[in-house]
Structure 1
Amino acid sequence: MQLLLNQAPISTGLLMCLAPVVDTPPTATTLSPSVCVAIIGSGLLACLVNVSQFYVINAVGPVSSTVVGHVKSCMIVGLGWAVSDRSMSMQSCIGIIMAFLGMSL
């Protein structure tokens, strides 16, 4: 818990310094209201994920918190595949299934 509390401000500072240099900001022609809502929504959801990490670590401990992080990663990959029109290889499917089985065990 203390490590996360010490790490969060440093990460925020680094992101605030590096994001303007590394990221390409949207232009005036592509900055529609829906893009603004998506950017603000993404930031709010990222904030909620970070805050929820404090509660997960406090409630179940650091090992379970790591497992929850891996579940989240697998869900992001699975949902990204489901939403996109790309096909998923058999190896990727087996990898995600093995990861979920390992986490559940």
Structure 2
Amino acid sequence: MSDHTHGTHEVGEIPPANTGLIWRTFIILSIITAFEFTLAYLMKAGTMRTSIFVLMTLVKAFYIVGEFMHLKHEVKSLIWAIVIPVVFIIWLLVALLTEGGAIGDAVFGFH
């Protein structure tokens, strides 16, 4: 007879939880969020503050997707197939917002 057990656990035994990874993720996301709140109170409203918020939000989003949706454990081609369209969508939104303001200025005379 061959042994059909996979790993070191007995059949029906639940493996121990990986709470260290969960706490590490919680601490990293908390630090980034605390930094965002600090910037919100210390910096004047403007393009630079907004750009930093958007960048930090994207960092948190990619980290959450990598950790909780297990994307960082996938093959690289799948990761790139997801990341590249997201980058182009972000570029498209920035281009549309930038050009949309220029068109509004030219057509409607907004200043």
Shorter-chain TM-score tier: 0.3 to 0.5
Taking structure 2 as the reference length, the TM-score comes to 0.36
Comparing both structures, which one devotes a greater share of its residues to helix?
1
Higher Rg: 2
TM-score by length of 1: 0.37
Considering Cα pairs closer than 8 Å and 6+ residues apart, tell me whether 1 or 2 has the greater RCO.
Answer: 1
